[in-house]
Structure 1
Amino acid sequence: MNPLVATPVIVALLWPWAAAPAARRLADLLPPKAAALTLVGSAVALAGSTVWALGGVVAGGLLHLQLLASAGGLARSWATEGSPATVGVAAVALAVLLVVAGLMARLWRRQRQLLERTWRTMDGQPAEGDLVVVPGESPDAFALPGHGDRPGRIVVTSQMLRTLDTPGRDVLLAHERAHLAGRHHLLARTVQLASAAHPAVRGLAAATSFQLERWADEDAAAAVGSRKLAATAVARAALAATSSQRRPSLLPAIGTGPVPRRVGALLGPPPVAPRGRALRAGAVALLAVVALSAALSLGSAYGLHEYVEQVQEAVGP
């Protein structure tokens, strides 16, 4: 395999193992909204650089096959040098890209099926504005994203409403409305799809889900004007809705994620953006994740371009 292509590709495939943990640590220093957006941006950048690097390997292999086919009278030893490794690695990269594409397609299909199936269960249920109350003995509540021409809804079982007092219901509704208003399902969906490109990116999915819940927690606390009330309602709803602990992140719910950490954060002071040295360090870390991912993508493209130049010079006019 040509070193001009191989070096940035190898680094691009190894880089996410270091960048993903760094993005999670950076997110812990930021307010929930900024943290969630940072994690989503990092996931997209790392997945994009991985796919681009693998595509460069495939393109290099195809170019080498074309060179072998047209070698003719030129120095065939140059054309065939390293060809087994080049073509073999390209075949592996193509197989990986096909697997990634298949995983993304399956995730996309499952996401759509989940929304469609959930919306079908809502057919015929009366709605009061954006609220749908479903009869049932199991306490549950979640934000149902809009689908087609239907706007988003807050789905709550009657048992969950009986579990909470009036202030707690206000927190619950404010929390789920924050999910809908922030379109949190799209952010969670993006990270899920990006995680198919590289195993290291999968670690960002749980962190993103947590930060999205924290984002909604803070919006709910601001809406009701009491962090203690919000913490109490989150704890009570989460304890009641034990089944929601396994709910897909595409349907965000008040009981999702590590609830003790969320409650502890609500019982503390409101989150503030880091200042001074911490802010500069966080900004540099985020820029490093995005910039190096982009640089690696450009590096593999440049290496492929240089390889094309070498081929053209070898083949001649």
Structure 2
Amino acid sequence: MRLWVYLPLALSALLPYAARVTAGRVAPSVAVRTVAAAAAAAASGFVCCLALLALTLFDDLPPLWEFDDRPELGLPKPVPGMIALGAALLLLFGAVRLVRDVRSRRRVLRELRAAGTPNAGLVVADWAEPFAVAVPGRPGHVLVTSGMLRVLSPQEQRVLFAHENAHLRRRHHRWVTVSSWAAALNPLVSPMAVLVGRLVERWADEDAAVVVGDRRLVAQAVARASLAGRRRQVAPAMGMSGSGAVERVLAMQRPRQASRWQALVGVAALCLMVLVATAVAAVEFADVARAWISMVA
């Protein structure tokens, strides 16, 4: 366990850069799926390798500790105790972050659903704050405030509803949740979670442009909603005034992004390396564990 067990940790630090390059060269729908899947793969490899490192603490427990200072036995040496302890602490830290994320999302959903009972998939809240989000669920619904409706023209309101319904129809909250949980377990991929959050808004913008048939109208509506709407924590709900407003407005003033499939090679290769390295590390750990356990069998 000299190299392979650490390789997924190093590759996790490279993935956000590769993901950012890929996202600029493919359509948002492709980028969301690719980046979220890559984040999940990196988190899986990260957690598995940390678990393997932490499990090497077994040689410090009785009755195995009595073989620790007997080099004549030729037992393979696990990793240093401090590294194993650090891995165990990182696992605990990740578990705490994951639980906090899950609880935060549930709390936000309860608050948003308490705003009113949906009628035909829509809740109009009489709030002065300009605010609109797609609230996931079974079924999901759109929550919009009277303040937001006053800000937007009737044509821009069409964009708003097309955008929020795209979030619901495409189940964007699932991709956002996957990437957020991956970042909770593996902080190295946190930039990828942020990137997925921006990309799902771009994806919904593109779907809205198809519905209304006017990319410049979508850009105008995004700009107006983003300037009017006050940012608040709404994940896993998603709103048109979400992140990356300037980037989104500029994107809608250009032709639709075509996908360059070769741009996926870098991210795919890194993910494959993470999974292969994790598998090899698991095999190496099994060999080490078998040798030590055989001493007391």
Common fold by TM > 0.5: yes
1:202-245 deviation digits (Å, cap 9, x = unpaired):
1112111110000000000001111111111111111111x13x
Mapping of 1:196-211 within 5 angstroms? 196-211=184-199
Residue segments in structure 2 that go unaligned for 5+ positions in a row:
none
Q: 1:59 maps to what in 2?
A: 55
Q: 2:220 maps to what in 1?
A: 232
Q: Is the 8 A contact 1:171 1:224 kept in 2?
A: yes
Larger helix proportion of the pair? 1
Q: Pick the aligned partner of 1:113 from 97, 107, 112.
A: 107
Q: 1:290 maps to what in 2?
A: 271
Q: Is the 8 A contact 2:77 2:288 kept in 1?
A: no
Tell me which amino acid in the other structure corresponds to 1:284.
Answer: V
Give the match's secondary structure for 1:8: coil
Q: Is the 8 A contact 1:247 1:256 kept in 2?
A: no
**1:300–1:126 distance in 2 versus 1, CA, 3 Å:** closer
Give the match's secondary structure for 2:2: helix
Between the aligned partners of 2:275 and 2:235, the Cα distance in structure 1 is 28
Q: 2:16 maps to what in 1?
A: 20
Q: Is the 8 A contact 2:131 2:144 kept in 1?
A: yes
Mapping of 1:126-145 within 5 angstroms? 127-145=118-136
Mapping of 1:146-225 within 5 angstroms? 146=137, 150-225=138-213
**1:270 and 2:256 aligned:** yes
Q: 1:87 maps to what in 2?
A: 81
Farther off after superposition, 186-195 or 59-68 = 59-68
Q: Is the 8 A contact 2:28 2:200 kept in 1?
A: yes
Give the match's secondary structure for 1:196: helix
Between the aligned partners of 2:131 and 2:72, the Cα distance in structure 1 is 67
- TM-score of the aligned structures, taking structure 1 as reference length: 0.86
Deviation at 1:84, TM superposition (A): 9.6
1:52-110 deviation digits (Å, cap 9, x = unpaired):
00111122221564662574xx9834569897963332222112111111111111111
**1:252 and 2:249 aligned:** no
- TM-score of the aligned structures, taking structure 2 as reference length: 0.91
Tell me which amino acid in the other structure corresponds to 2:25.
Answer: L
Residue segments in structure 1 that go unaligned for 5+ positions in a row:
none
1:238-274 deviation digits (Å, cap 9, x = unpaired):
1111x13x43342211011121110111111011112
1:3-26 deviation digits (Å, cap 9, x = unpaired):
xx2311222222111122111211
**1:127–1:111 distance in 2 versus 1, CA, 3 Å:** closer
**1:10–1:138 distance in 2 versus 1, CA, 3 Å:** same
Deviation at 1:154, TM superposition (A): 0.6
**1:127–1:301 distance in 2 versus 1, CA, 3 Å:** closer
How many pairs are equivalent? Answer: 297
Identity %: 30
